[in-house]
Chain A
Amino acid sequence: MSTWLAIACVGAITFLLRASFIVFADPQRFPRFFRQALAFVPPAVLAAIVAPGLLIGTAGLDLSWGNHRLAAGLLAIAVAARTRSVLAAIVSGMCALWLLQWAMG
């Protein structure tokens, strides 16, 4: 039961955040600092998702060269910065990871 409640609430939250300004409110009516803060949401939230994904391994923080995900991720960042292509970033990162895992075990 509590699982279904959580599922319904998560659905409601994601929908209300999406619909907030498109359906319910005009962003111009909100104070400037609020709109400024909104602009920083994507870089902050996305980085807070990406950093642990690259640097936290099964045994905790891993900053070594043996961390294949870090190496593959850095390559994907460089490719994304250069090409702006989602496809190129994902393909290069995945191929790099597979290659490193295959070559270094």
Chain B
Amino acid sequence: METLTPKQEFIAGSREVAPSLVGTIPFGLVVGVASVGAGLTPFQGVALSVLSFSGIAQLVATQLIAVQSPLAITLAAAFVVSLRLLMYSAALSPHLAHLPVGWRLLISYLMTDQSFAMTVRRYGEPGDRRHKHWQFMGAGMTLFVTWQLAVIVGVLAGAGVPADWSLDFVVVLTFIALLVPVVRTRADLAAALVAGVVALAAAGLPYKLSLVVGSIAGITIAMILDRSHWRSP
């Protein structure tokens, strides 16, 4: 079995995530525009982006900061929309346990939906995994640099991006592309359907609470169904 060098792994990782940039770059632009639109200064918008490096957390946080929601509510919403990162962390940890703590901190910081999806796929493939964390680094750095640049452009362009381009729809499409592959069992489908319906029913609630309520309802129902062994083969 051929062993790739760290540099080859890095380049392979960058290549692997390149197609998802079609989604993440406009998404970053939208997030940048939204953060100044909501009343953050450009510097605050970029600081939030560098600190959290998560589009949906940035979007939700800016919207809640804009309506001056209580800190606890902003944090609860950011927590729930970022809960999937906890699941990603659990799924990746066995593959990364051999790395020094500095590497693990860096990989944690750079982990996003896209780099997670790529890494899980890659670790599932046969081969020497000695340098596979370099592949994560290639994907993570590519996403990080392009994301931050897109957010900076969005923050500077502000309202200059025409609304009739409907670029904000890219955000929804990005999450559709992430959602479809994770619905594998009937319990997964139930989690998604219940979460979606409850989020819609709760759409009138303030502070984006519909997201929180919908997510918790979906997880709860799926747990109940899963307990009763209602799983597809």
**Do A and B actually bind?**
yes
Asked if B105 CB lies within 8 Å of chain A CBs, one says yes
A44 to nearest B CB, angstroms? 3
Asked if A14 CB lies within 8 Å of chain B CBs, one says yes
Asked if B47 CB lies within 8 Å of chain A CBs, one says yes
**Roughly how many angstroms separate A51 CA and B164 CA in the complex, as a whole number?**
21
Asked if B84 CB lies within 8 Å of chain A CBs, one says yes
B19:A85 contact, CB within 8 angstroms? yes
Q: Interface residue tally of chain A, by bracket?
A: 35 or more
A7:B61 contact, CB within 8 angstroms? yes
Asked if B157 CB lies within 8 Å of chain A CBs, one says no
Q: Which residues of B contact A60 (CB under 8 A)?
A: 203
Asked if A64 CB lies within 8 Å of chain B CBs, one says no
A55-78 near B? 1/0 per residue, CB < 8 Å: 110001100000001001100110
A101:B166 contact, CB within 8 angstroms? yes
Chain B 58-108 residues near chain A, CB threshold 8 A: 58, 61, 64-65, 71, 74-75, 78-90, 92-94, 96, 101, 104-105, 107-108
Chain A 20-73 residues near chain B, CB threshold 8 A: 20-23, 26-27, 33, 35-56, 60-61, 69, 72-73
Q: Which residues of A contact B19 (CB under 8 A)?
A: 85-87
- Name B52's closest neighbour in chain A (CB-CB): A14
Asked if B161 CB lies within 8 Å of chain A CBs, one says no
- For the complex of A and B, list the 4 residue pairs with the smallest distance between their C-beta atoms, beginning with the closest: A11-B51, A44-B218, A51-B196, A53-B172
Apart from A50-B172, A98-B166, what 9 extra A-B contacts exist at CB < 8 Å? Answer: A5-B71, A15-B51, A19-B89, A21-B86, A21-B92, A45-B83, A49-B199, A50-B176, A97-B169
Chain A interfacial positions (CB closer than 8 Å to B): 2-15, 17-23, 26-27, 33, 35-56, 60-61, 69, 72-73, 76-77, 80-81, 84-87, 89-91, 93-94, 97-98, 101
